[in-house]
Amino acid sequence: MRLAFILSCVFMSATASFSQTAETPSQVSFVRSKDGTRIAVECTGKGPSLLIVHGGTGDRSRWKPLLPLFASHFTVCAMDRRGHGESEAGSNYSLRKEFEDVAAVVNVLSRRGLRQQDGALAYARATAPQPGPVFVLGHSLGGLCALEAAFLTNKISKLVLYEPPLQDLDHTAIADRMEKMIHAGKSSIGREQALVTFLREIVMISPDEIAAMKRQPAWPSRVAGIDIQIREIRALSKYRFDAKRIRTLAVPTLLLTGSKTASPQLKQATSALMDNLPRRTLVVFEGQEHNAMDKIPQQFAETVTNFLRGH
């Protein structure tokens, strides 16, 4: 019989120690995906590997504030999805290639960690991840990429998925409007308008949450890279959730959601995963929306770490 544990998180007791210490040194390496596209990965810390896959906008820098919270327990690595940050955009884009990117990074981490290869920066032996299965945390579209990567590699030992868009509506009309804003706007104005449109109309984030996002250091990179979001929105409109297939995935999975998340599609996706994943746990962050890691970083890190370490 499949059991689900549903937790409502107002606070969590710390079964692991966390501290916001001085920034831990990190290094960037590159992994070649299946089609040859170079994927940038930034790692820090020591221990079992935890790979973080960012969402639709921005790049790995949005996870920078949380890396020190994970670094005392894991070799934590944040990747740039293709077309974001320092990763190459590749050609003939498809979601399948995004899934392959995550699987490629996982496979490298599971074998020997990130070392000098393909012109990449060396990943120091002193902080090299332990060979073996890898934990993967995916947020939003990064959650979909993490989930699908688990079907491409057997090296993922546990998954953490924060509101992946599995059953989204067809938002290509919004993507068309965003594209016009980008081309019509002067300087970064059009790009910022397109980004806000995406957040309001597709992710359905509240004005207060958007205002908080604008105060984050990662906001400029989100604005600068909004162009790449157009192809992702169009590709996602063709994705089809396969409940029967999901029932075959035996990887232990932590599902995260915010109690104030407004998007019916994101809520429906979480419910579908709860109904079909054989080994799943649900944690609801009370009072949070789609970006709990920004508002309650220590609680977020504790929740993830306790699940991954088996607490």
Question: In this model, does residue 22 exceed pLDDT 70?
Answer: no
Looking at domain 4-169+240-308, which of 3.40.50.720, 3.40.50.1820, 3.90.1150.10, 3.30.420.40 is its CATH number?
3.40.50.1820
pLDDT in tens, 147-161: 999 999 999 999 999
Residue 15 confidence (pLDDT): 42
Type of residue at 19: S
What strand order describes the sheet that includes 134-139?
4-9, 280-285, 253-258, 156-162, 134-139, 49-53, 75-79, 38-45, 27-32
pLDDT (mean) for 85-91: 96
Nearest to 237 by CA among 108, 306, 144: 144
pLDDT in tens, 24-40: 688 999 999 999 999 99
SS3 18: coil
Residue 132 confidence (pLDDT): 81
Nearest to 56 by CA among 215, 172, 271, 226: 226
Question: In this model, does residue 84 exceed pLDDT 70?
Answer: yes
pLDDT in tens, 208-241: 999 999 999 889 989 988 999 999 999 999 999 9
DSSP 202: I
Rounded Cα gap, residues 311 and 308, in angstroms: 8
Alpha carbon distances (Å) from 133 to 16, 97, 308: 21, 21, 12
Residue 25 confidence (pLDDT): 82
How many other CB atoms are found less than 10 A from the CB of residue 307?
20
pLDDT (mean) for 195-213: 96
Q: Are 102 and 82 in contact (CB under 8 A)?
A: no
Task: Give the strand pairing for 75-79 and 38-45.
Answer: antiparallel
Question: In this model, does residue 276 exceed pLDDT 70?
Answer: yes
Q: What are the boundaries of each domain within the chain?
A: 4-169+240-308
- Please enumerate in sequence order all residues whose Cβ is within 8 A of that of 154, keeping only pairs 6 or more positions apart, or say none: none
- For 128, counting Cβ atoms within 10 Å of its Cβ (0-12 exposed, 13-18 middle, 19+ buried), the class is middle
pTM recorded for the entire structure: 0.89
Question: In this model, does residue 91 exceed pLDDT 60?
Answer: yes
Residue 6 confidence (pLDDT): 41
Rounded Cα gap, residues 258 and 299, in angstroms: 13
DSSP result, 71-138: HTTSEEEEEPPTTSTTS---SS--HHHHHHHHHHHHHHHHHT-S-S-TTPPPPPGGGPPPSS-EEEEE
Relative orientation angle of helices 189-197 and 172-184, to the nearest 10 degrees: 160
pLDDT (mean) for 168-185: 90
pLDDT in tens, 239-250: 999 999 999 999
Rounded Cα gap, residues 199 and 173, in angstroms: 15
Question: In this model, does residue 19 exceed pLDDT 70?
Answer: no
pLDDT band at 311 (very low <50, low <70, confident <90, very high): low
pLDDT band at 184 (very low <50, low <70, confident <90, very high): confident
Flag the least confident range among 11-20, 59-68, 298-307.
11-20
